[in-house]
Amino acid sequence: MSTPNKVLTSKGYSILKESLTKDEVKQIEEELTVKPRTLQKFATAVPEFKIYAESTARYYLPRAWAADIFGPPEAVTVKPGIPLPPTVTFKGTPYPYQQEIIDKFVGQGANGLICVPCGRGKTFMALAIAIKLGKRFLIVVDKEFLMNQWKGEIERYIDGARIGIIQGDSHQCGTEVVVSKGLGLSEMKKLAKEAGLKVSGTKEELTNRLIEAKIDVGPKTETVEYDITICMIQTICLRDYPVDTFSGYGFTIFDECHHLGAQYFSGVLRKIQTPHMLGLSATPDRDDGLTKVFEYYLGKPVYQEKTREPDPTVQVKALWYHNDDPAYADLPLDWRGELVTARLMTQVVTCKARTEFVLEHLKDLVTDPRRKVLVLSERRDHLAQIDAGLPEATSRGYYVGGMKQADLDTNAETCQVLLATYAMASEAMNIKALNAMIMASPRKKVEQSTGRILRTTVDKRVIEPLIIDVIDQHETYVRQWQLRQRYYKKCAYSIEHVGKQIKDDRGKPAVVPENCLIVL
């Protein structure tokens, strides 16, 4: 029997080299060699990288791209995955719009992306899809707090599942024989007491006493079958795995899949190949042009909402900040005369007068006990300055990378003010009580960050959501505001300008009065 030419394998879509024309080889090597697009003038050349592999006889290609170019595979060696036991059940009830998305994804082959704004229930829908497919499944994340969050959501919505973790030295995947530790001294004393034996003496004496009474005190082995394994992407990328490592899994969920466009993280797509694969993201479009990397592997969006549904109840307070102090106002330039954006950010967040300006509005917010405020900055030092300026009576806590999950959860539950980095707020922060945010440092894209205060449906809100957007006077930051404003208008948010400078009839600067909603 002849060897199939086109095969879907654990390494990707495999095709014989001898079957290809020169033009097809050229197409593979050109289209699947990529590099990030950079907009910075005179930037150092960015290295390109391949998103395909090859042996002496075959190319191994991203499967969605290859199927579009060469047609469906003639054979499939990827195993279908082990069925979930009947005791594993889903106990959530999707909203009608969620059910529509779930049915559409499964109905179109259960491969591709689901791209919806924050608060629409991506995690919930992904778990519902997984149970509907009925196979063991993997979840790939890039941050430890996301791993913990997924574990919590699984425990909330799925009954009867055994959850494994792949992180560092932990490799809870498929079937594992677990050896428990022997009993501790206190446990031995308890057993001895229950058996009517003498409980005094050393651990060795207690062990001998229990053994003589035919009571097992040694380590025990248990065979564990993991139905779901949550994988840290860094661990997967760092290590080489045997070909059949993930063969028992029939479905993979890639959370925040926009990260998979990066050269290092894209390696996970060549290591995990399951029959069905789902990428989740609220913001799949990458500025560097590498969205195509993960779309070539996972497929195009099966469902996508680029903008939130209009919500005129959301208020945006646009605070225009002006300061003539050269330490804040002057533009830092390099030897080519180009703006050094990192240094400008430092000037902005270290400006004490500006921090006081932010604090003034934050202090006003927290006088309303209904407010639960998220304060966001690019820099942790800036958060510390804001923290130091708050009244002692204001309950506040940090929500930044490197913190223990228990501390994150405690702060999220008990603090009126959460001091967080954009990095933490841009991905899967799930704190439904949040209803206000302050953008304490400039930011270009805010789709994900603003979504953190919109997780409560309109009918259940105790107060209207409020976004305080601080706009700095520098031209680059004014342009960023224009992008944010465009997004706010698409979402039908109500925008109030405070302190915006305009020109009067004589061409001289004027200021928009506070609480003015319309500028003529």
Domains of the chain and any CATH numbers: 6-76 (no CATH), 89-177+224-304 (3.40.50.300), 181-219 (no CATH), 315-511 (3.40.50.300)
Give the per-residue pLDDT at 180: 66
Please, which pLDDT band fits residue 45 given cuts at 50, 70 and 90? low
Nearest to residue 232, comparing CAs of 143, 101, 119?
A: 143
| Candidate from 14-28, 259-273, 341-355, 451-465 with smallest mean pLDDT | 451-465
pLDDT at 511 > cutoff 80: no
Residue of higher predicted confidence among 115 and 514: 115
- Six-digit token pair at 80? 């279908």
- Six-digit token pair at 110? 């259960």
| Candidate from 117-121, 224-228, 275-279, 490-494 with smallest mean pLDDT | 117-121
pLDDT at 510 > cutoff 70: no
Helices (H), 391-473: 405-414, 422-425, 447-451
Q: What is the pLDDT of residues 248-291, one digit of tens each?
A: 999 999 999 999 999 999 999 999 999 999 999 988 989 889 99
Please, which pLDDT band fits residue 118 given cuts at 50, 70 and 90? confident
Mean pLDDT of 158-187: 85
pLDDT at 308 > cutoff 90: no
Q: How far apart are CA 175 and CA 194, in angstroms?
A: 35
Task: Please give the helix or strand (H or E) that residue 123 lies within, else none.
Answer: helix 122-133
| Candidate from 91-95, 212-216, 381-385 with smallest mean pLDDT | 212-216
Q: How far apart are CA 316 and CA 467, in angstroms?
A: 5
- Got the DSSP string for 339-386? B-HHHHHHHHHT-HHHHHHHHHHHHHHTTSTT--EEEEES-HHHHHHH
Mean pLDDT of 63-71: 96
pLDDT at 211 > cutoff 60: yes
Q: What is the pLDDT of residues 419-438, one digit of tens each?
A: 999 988 876 678 889 999 99
Give the per-residue pLDDT at 518: 46
Q: How far apart are CA 272 and CA 65, in angstroms?
A: 16
Give the per-residue pLDDT at 520: 45
Q: What is the pLDDT of residues 340-351, one digit of tens each?
A: 999 999 999 999
Give the per-residue pLDDT at 502: 54
The share of the chain scoring above pLDDT 90, in percent, equals 68
Mean pLDDT of 53-82: 96
Give the per-residue pLDDT at 40: 57
pLDDT at 202 > cutoff 90: no
Region for residue 367 given its phi and psi (left: phi exceeds 0; alpha: psi -120 to 50; beta: otherwise): alpha
| Average pLDDT value for the chain | 90
Find all residues with CB under 8 Å of 460, minimum gap 6, and list them.
none
Please, which pLDDT band fits residue 507 given cuts at 50, 70 and 90? very low
| Candidate from 138-147, 156-165, 307-316, 409-418 with smallest mean pLDDT | 307-316
Please, which pLDDT band fits residue 39 given cuts at 50, 70 and 90? low
CB 295 within 8 A of CB 258: no
